[in-house]
Amino acid sequence: MATALYNRKSANVAGQKTGYVKLYMALRSEFTTLAAPGTVTNPEDAYTISTDHAFGSGGGFAEVYVLPKQNTADGSTFGEEGALNSLFQPKFFIPGDDAKALALVEYLLNKELIVLQQDRNAAGSYVQYGDKDVPCHVSSRGFQSGTLMDGTKGYSFELVSVNKYFYTGDITLRS
């Protein structure tokens, strides 16, 4: 395999546009096949999943409406020098406050999740958090009421994941 240390003499200008436009979530337990990266020829292949995920009857990803201006995916590292690991912390905001929204946000707490964020830069390209060995999960959830004059009522979430992939397969939605 080639080394991941390579010359990067210019930026991927198309890939610099910020933002994620949609969010999809599924419970890890609902997959019949949770695809993984395929054959690794180049270093980036270890982070690309091109095989479709599969679900049992009626299963699939739930498309969750989020505010695009509050849908982020920051990352950092943790650990000691010589043993650093990646930590990704997608954050999103589900607008609205009704019984259905509350049922969804309460249900997501303490679940093992696989989450996809649709990248606005490329149709059919998603950032995936979680895999069959280490799913992502909700690390914090908040509620904002807004005010009479500004703001939006809804629920904020922060997920935590130690892995990140680029998923280019098809998305099966829940029926």
pLDDT at 8 over 60: no
Q: Give the global pTM.
A: 0.87
The structural domains of the chain, with segments of one domain joined by +, span 21-167
Read off the tokens for 12. Answer: 């991927």
Q: Which of 43, 62, 174 is nearest to 115 (CA)?
A: 62
> Average model confidence (pLDDT) for the chain?
88
pLDDT digits (tens, 9 = 90+) for 68-124: 888 888 999 999 999 999 999 999 999 999 999 999 999 999 999 999 999 877 777
Which of 172, 153, 162, 145 lies closest to 76 in space, CA to CA? 162
66 Cβ partners below 8 Å, 6+ apart?
22, 23, 92, 93, 94, 95
> For residues 66 and 166, what is the distance between their CA atoms, to the nearest angstrom?
20
Mean pLDDT of 2-12: 57
Q: Which CATH class name applies to 21-167?
A: mainly beta
